Chains A and B, each alone.
Chain A
């Protein structure tokens, strides 16, 4: 959600506020049913404009906390202002929007469940009132009674994926939401771009297609796959480790993970380079012996190759040893 979008919406919201009938003192006499239906209508109107209703302190107390209610409310307490620098909030917000949209445009959409958000910069008093000191937090306010312990979503353990949120909501309110993610076209576009690039290249070079038969190119490609796999890029892809670890106490950056069960991205890149260097050393050794040329030059190539193999293998071994305590000879 862009910032201009937010201000725009907020502006609209403030214009609306004075026209609300229930805010007039003369209407306080209206019966409870009337009040309830007014509230539901108001919530429905807001929801139809935007799947997640933005709340400030007053709105929150009136529509979420105050008793005559027959609808459940899911509230996300968050801090989305850029100066708060809460990157988790933004990710959580995206997931929350996906979920709210899935509910808003599903066939089961009804006035039994509303999605709302309270930003810290708009409703700091709500945070104080609820004794809340971390954002984002997801809470469910049931139609009847007070929120229990399980009505606070366990973000630490489950994470904030929409599917998990939907499961939690189904658990708390018996409303099943089928999460519908807007399809992600970036992968397809990247693939199409790649294919067209390769196709274009082939077309440009159509007079000279010899390079397809270039063994060096194919060998390079094969080695790239091999190096990527043996340095654990697949592990990185599946587990998503951090790039490196920065010690918060003294600011030291460590690139090598201390345990043998895990690795950092930077570490896997270092290993990739080391493996490549050793392989290159072996190739150079072979090259020096087979090529036909000046003996002095070949000697240098040979020594460089040998140096690459021996030096980088020792380096690799020492990294391995730092991860495997007590290696070897116990």
Chain B
């Protein structure tokens, strides 16, 4: 079917505008603040991209980062998905080749918005394969502005998910295309796209389970065809080989349980095809015998495998959702929580109510590729329900199915009856122009509300860099709080190049990226016991903490304190997690109950537990804070913590082994220097009093004073030196 020229021009311009809208609605943070890398993980990605562009690809693959996880270090090249860094590095390289000189930071900042445009295009392609061109265009418009996707792809959020959603959608498009055509060309394209996805994000597991599921359901529905056979056999083998080329993935695809479904379906498909082949060759009687034999054998095999898996506990791990794991370090991350309906509505708005209608239409008019999108929707909605973070994988399919629903409504209600080619003689022709235009108008209004909601959410909820904070006065003027960068630059300028900075793991990547100093723990939380040790140091008293810090060679301690400006994400509010994680590893030394009042409350004022009031984190947070009058009306006493709305309980804080090195403008970041050991250990026992024999007495001391007095003089001089 050949399209008229104006139609393809229209499609092209709509698609182009969708990309443009997607790109520009992600720029709020850049316009309000500046071109800066956001949050935590992106700082690591940025740092490794920087390493890649300065030292080259092979150096990057072999990079051993001795500045992280001191004293252990981290093998970066083998523990990251390199797709993101390589993509940014490649773009930077090409631009420089064309003599467009940009800094690598700008490439990193604008990578996610650019890829969101590509996502819109691939979503258009996929939806066009599933339904029609109109639905495709609507889907592209939806995915360009939907908050569920913007949350991970604003400018500056230089993270794996930003490029992975494009790879995901494109892989699915090529897969649907190859199932439709049965051509090896499309399948190889699908494998390459899958390879890119594997190199970019751990979420590739979703693809390698969804595609086999699709094939399996097609077999169940007796929709087996040569096309499916060719597509899946090629995809599995080539995709497997390609995915194993990524160092971080390695041999996982043939070892771990997540990939077993794909292998099982591959075997099943071969067996099924073989049976189909035999069916043509054998008589009915022979075939039946063979079939029963084969089925009973297969059933026995499956049974044994299940028993084995159950025995080894793999099955349990497959079935239990991650949210139920009670390891504190996983529970402490807010992204690993189940999803309320409010989050669904917040991220998807009208789409969450209309996409079931699209799913309904797809199932009612089922074909091979619509089976795929139905499975995609059901599995993604389940995962999104279990974990907030996986809303990201749900968003594309919601956009596609909502587009299907809206486009089928528009298709029927927008068209003008009189201009149809067909003669309007039939009685059941039209609902009348009035109803049609009312329906169209109201639907358009709903979509407009959606657009307004998306813009509002993007601007208010998802465009904060969280490295730079902003506060608004009553008259609407804006204050920029740049304490984080101030402190990190202080570290960069004023400390020794190899100084080791201890902080809670949230700030590890930022310290490494902005201050370029060695950290003990960071956001790659691979070593729980090391984190627990830092947590123990933070929650012990000063002398015990000093022991730990000495053993870890800590030079500086960095903490975040929000009591002056009322910043709620500070270390005191995270403190209980430090205690819990420390208790998990050192139950004899740290007890969570010690940090609560007898009534079971966590308080920082006078009623708080003495253990809390004397632990290192408390002392570092509130050192000299007792003298400070926070501006908030005249009535607040000195030492009033605005975050927790309490006057602190321990105002007389003195340090023995630490000294304050730096406090930022709004006290948001405080850095302490860990003192070296004194030259000589002060003796805590009484000095041995020896009456010196006269022949050893110095001539300068008068003989008659001798003994006791000399000792006294020596003691005093020692004390005051």
Binding site for B on A (CB under 8 A): 149-150, 154, 156-157, 215-216, 218-219, 222-223, 225-235, 237-239, 260-263, 267-268, 271, 274-276, 278-279, 282-283, 285-286, 288-290, 292-295, 298-299, 302-303, 306, 309-310, 313, 316-317, 320, 323-324, 327-330
Contact = CB atoms under 8 A, between A and B. Distances in A.
Interface core residue of B353, B405, B598 (most chain A CB under 10 Å): B353
Given A154-B593, A229-B385, A299-B432, A320 B353 contact: no
B594 to A, nearest CB: 9
Interface in B532-582: none
Contacts of A324: 342, 346
Interface core residue of A216, A234, A309, A313 (most chain B CB under 10 Å): A234
B357 interface: yes
A216 B364 contact: yes
A222 B386 contact: no
B378 A225 contact: yes
B344 A215 contact: no
A150 B324 CA distance: 29
Contact of B412 (A278, A289, A306, A327): A289
B280 interface: no
A286 B408 contact: yes
Given A219-B363, A290-B412, A320 B378 contact: no
Contact of A226 (B340, B356, B364, B600): B356
Nearest to B449: A317
Interface in B592-622: 593, 596, 598-600
B439 A302 contact: yes
A279 B598 CA distance: 52
A302 B437 CA distance: 12
A128 B486 CA distance: 61
Contacts of B446: 309-310, 313
B442 A320 contact: no
A327 to B, nearest CB: 8
23 contacts: A154-B600, A215-B366, A216-B364, A219-B359, A222-B374, A222-B378, A227-B356, A230-B385, A231-B341, A232-B339, A235-B338, A239-B338, A267-B341, A279-B353, A283-B357, A283-B360, A285-B409, A295-B427, A295-B430, A313-B350, A320-B342, A324-B342, A329-B456
Instruction: List the 10 shortest-distance A-B pairs measured between CB atoms, nearest first.
Output: A289-B412, A282-B357, A234-B385, A229-B385, A219-B363, A278-B353, A232-B341, A279-B356, A235-B338, A229-B381
B360 A279 contact: yes
Contacts of B670: none
A216 B405 CA distance: 17
Interface in B624-675: none
Interface residues of B, number: 56
Contact of A260 (B342, B363, B456): B342
B382 interface: yes
B345 interface: yes
Contacts of A274: 353
Nearest to B355: A226
A237 B345 CA distance: 19
Given A285-B439, A299-B432, A222 B359 contact: yes
Contact of B431 (A215, A227, A232, A295): A295
A233 B385 contact: yes
A147 B279 CA distance: 80
Given A218-B363, A235-B385, A310-B442, A226 B341 contact: no
Interface core residue of A154, A223, A235, A294 (most chain B CB under 10 Å): A235
Nearest to B434: A299
B359 A286 contact: no
Nearest to A267: B341
A329 B598 CA distance: 45
B611 to A, nearest CB: 13
Nearest to B415: A289
B347 to A, nearest CB: 11
B427 A263 contact: no
Contacts of B435: 299, 302-303
Judged by DSSP, the binding face of B is: helix
Contacts of B357: 279, 282-283, 286
Contacts of A234: 338-339, 382, 385-386
B223 to A, nearest CB: 12
Interface core residue of B342, B381, B438, B456 (most chain A CB under 10 Å): B342
A112 B456 CA distance: 65
B340 A235 contact: yes
Contact of B344 (A230, A283, A295, A329): A230
A232 B378 contact: no
Given A286-B408, A286-B409, A295-B427, A225 B453 contact: no
Contacts of A289: 409, 412-413, 431
B689 interface: no
A231 to B, nearest CB: 5
A121 B579 CA distance: 40
A150 to B, nearest CB: 8
B596 A157 contact: yes
Contacts of B87: none
Contacts of B377: 222, 226
Contacts of A329: 456
Given A154-B600, A157-B600, A313-B353, A306 B439 contact: yes
B361 interface: yes
Interface core residue of B339, B363, B408, B599 (most chain A CB under 10 Å): B363
Nearest to B362: A219
Nearest to A263: B340
Interface string B359-400: 111011010000000100110011011100000000000000
B431 A235 contact: no
A328 B452 contact: yes
Given A222-B374, A328-B452, A261 B382 contact: no
Given A229-B385, A278-B354, A286 B412 contact: yes
A225 B360 CA distance: 12
B428 interface: yes
Contacts of A262: 340
B364 A215 contact: yes
A330 B600 contact: no
Given A157-B593, A279-B357, A283-B361, 11 more contacts: A223-B359, A226-B377, A227-B356, A260-B340, A260-B342, A263-B342, A283-B357, A285-B409, A286-B357, A299-B432, A309-B442
A322 B323 CA distance: 28
Given A289-B413, A295-B427, A313-B350, A320 B345 contact: yes
A288 B338 contact: no
Contact of B324 (A238, A271, A293, A303): A238
Interface string B311-345: 00000000000011000000000000011111011
B352 interface: yes
A292 B442 CA distance: 24
B7 interface: no
Given A295-B428, A330-B460, A219 B360 contact: yes
A282 B401 CA distance: 12
B372 to A, nearest CB: 13
Nearest to B361: A286
Contacts of B364: 215-216, 219
